[in-house]
Amino acid sequence: MSKPSPKRPPNPTLRWVLMLAGVILVFGGVFAIKAFFAKQTNTFFDNMPQPAVAVSSHVAKTQRWTEDGEAVGTFVAINGTDITTEAGGVIRSIEFEPGQQVSAGTVLVRLNTANEQATLNALETSAKLASVQAQRWQQLGKDKLVSLDDVQQRVAAAASARAQVEAQRALIAQKTIRAPFAGVLGLRKVNLGQYVAPGAPMVSLQQLDPIYLDFSLPEQQAGKVVAGTAVRASVDALPGNTFDGRITAVESQVDPNTRNFKAQATFQNPQGVLRPGSFAKVGFALGGERDVLVIPQTAVSFNPYGNAVYVISKTARKPGEKDMQGKELTGDKFIVTQRFIKTGATRGDLVAVTEGLKAGERVVTSGLLKLRNDAEVTINDAIQPSADANPAPENR
């Protein structure tokens, strides 16, 4: 009888290897199946036809523009100040009305001068006495009864007394506040019986006719803007109205911080409708005409890294190209290509293109946010954004 073969002892290492191989096989299969379906999904979406975007368009055209300049400025009174007093005192009378038109020298406010007037009376009496004594001593000096030094002291004392009188009269005059120039008064800032200190404002006074307009321009226009250039201005407070003036002064230096220089124009303002501090839009002609390529401003994507437009071009479809429903498409299609441009001056709804676009090219004017490079579009120009060099929106 043969002996049974002895049992082999279990091999734990082999078991772990087989178990690990099985786990790798199972999970590897799962991940492989998942990657296959993900690839198929991505392939489907990558090749899925995109619906055409409806846009409006505009053809870039050349127009003849005069070389104009534009700026913003602020109206400034030729003469404007807060009326104050050189000497403090209590207000005895207010002789103006807020908003009143006054001429130069008009009395506005009188301060109490009772004490000063009494002092003046005393000084005048002393001055008269000193004058009489000086005359008497001069006569005595002629008769050689007093010394010449005594006579000169009496004459000097009389002159000093008269000077004190004039100083007191000047002090009293300072307490009668008058308009230093013709203009329009503002709102009253003091009350009857109120004590006002020297320098305290009582009412503003502005000379409105004529009036200045101060504005800044870039240094590139320093040689083009000269005194005598005609300008026109408009203010938001008076819509539809423009005012004509002329540049009367140009700053002799350029601000190193802003690289701008200031100019000042003068406007006639007989009705006083232009007020100091008002914001104004300024336009002026620099002379000459030139041809510029223009498109609507709505066609431009203004970005910090550069301005761009979407240019429309026509191309043939690929054979067998289908839409989202699987229907085969025929005929040409319109696609858009993003192109960076350089823009120049603006006029109304239009902007000049100095580089990156040619006359006759068609650009997208609406629906830009829905576009991407090489996207297909359909053109519907039934409704167009405004593209007028001189727009006049309706008041509603």
User: Domains along the chain?
Assistant: 53-65+291-379 (2.40.420.20), 69-78+206-289 (2.40.30.170), 85-110+178-205 (2.40.50.100), 113-174 (1.10.287)
Asked if residues 82 and 68 have their Cβ atoms less than 8 Å apart, the reply is no
- Is the whole model's pTM more than 0.85, yes or no? no
The pLDDT > 90 percentage for the chain reads 5
Maximum average pLDDT range among 62-71, 126-135, 315-324, 369-378: 369-378
> What is the Cα–Cα distance from 215 to 245, expressed in whole angstroms?
13
Calculate mean pLDDT across residues 19-38: 80
Cβ-contact 233, 280 below 8 angstroms? yes
Q: With bands split at pLDDT 50, 70 and 90, how would you rate the model's confidence at 284? A: confident
Residue among 249, 205, 32, 253 nearest 105 (CA): 205
Task: Specify the DSSP class assigned to residue 128.
Answer: H
The confidence band for 146, taking pLDDT boundaries of 50, 70 and 90, is low
CB atoms within 10 A of CB 5: 6
Point out which residues pair with 266 in neighbouring strands.
212, 246
Burial class (CB in 10 A: 0-12, 13-18, 19+), 254: middle
Q: Which of 61-75, 122-136, 276-290, 336-350 has the highest mean pLDDT?
A: 336-350
pLDDT at 63: 86
Give me the mean pLDDT over the 357-368 stretch.
89
Cα angle 334, 304, 291 (rounded to 5 degrees) comes to 65
Report how far residue 312's alpha carbon sits from residue 113's, in angstroms, rounded to the nearest whole number: 84
How far apart, in whole angstroms, are the C-alpha atoms of residue 348 and residue 283?
Answer: 13
Residue 356 has pLDDT above 70, yes or no: yes
Contact 282, 70 (CB under 8 A): yes
**Among candidate residues 115, 134, 113, 120, the one with its CA nearest the CA of residue 164:** 120
pLDDT band (50, 70, 90) for residue 241:
confident
Query: Residue 259 half-sphere exposure, CB side, CA atoms within 13 Å?
Result: 4
CB–CB of 274/320 below 8 Å? no
- pLDDT higher than 60, residue 324: no
Q: What is the mean pLDDT of residues 73-85?
A: 88
pLDDT of residue 212: 92
Q: Other C-beta atoms within 10 Å of 168: how many? A: 18
Buried-state track 178-188, b at ≥16 Cβ within 10 A, e below 16: ebeebbbbbeb
pLDDT at 236: 83
pLDDT at 319: 63
pLDDT at 357 over 70: yes
Nearest CA-CA partner of 313 in 330, 297, 333, 331: 333
C-alpha to C-alpha distance for 381 and 376, rounded to whole angstroms: 16
| pLDDT at residue 361, as a whole number | 92
pLDDT in the model for residue 234: 86
Q: CA-to-CA distance for 215 and 70, rounded, in angstroms? A: 10
- Structural contact between residues 24 and 30, judged by C-beta atoms closer than 8 angstroms: no
Distance between CA atoms of residues 57 and 61, nearest Å: 13
Confidence category of residue 67, pLDDT binned at 50, 70, 90: low
CA nearest neighbour of 88 among 252, 210, 217, 200: 200
Percent pLDDT > 70 in the chain is 86
Mean pLDDT of the chain: 80
What confidence score (pLDDT) does residue 24 get? 82
Q: What is the pLDDT of residue 3?
A: 55
Confidence band (pLDDT; 50, 70, 90) for 311? very high
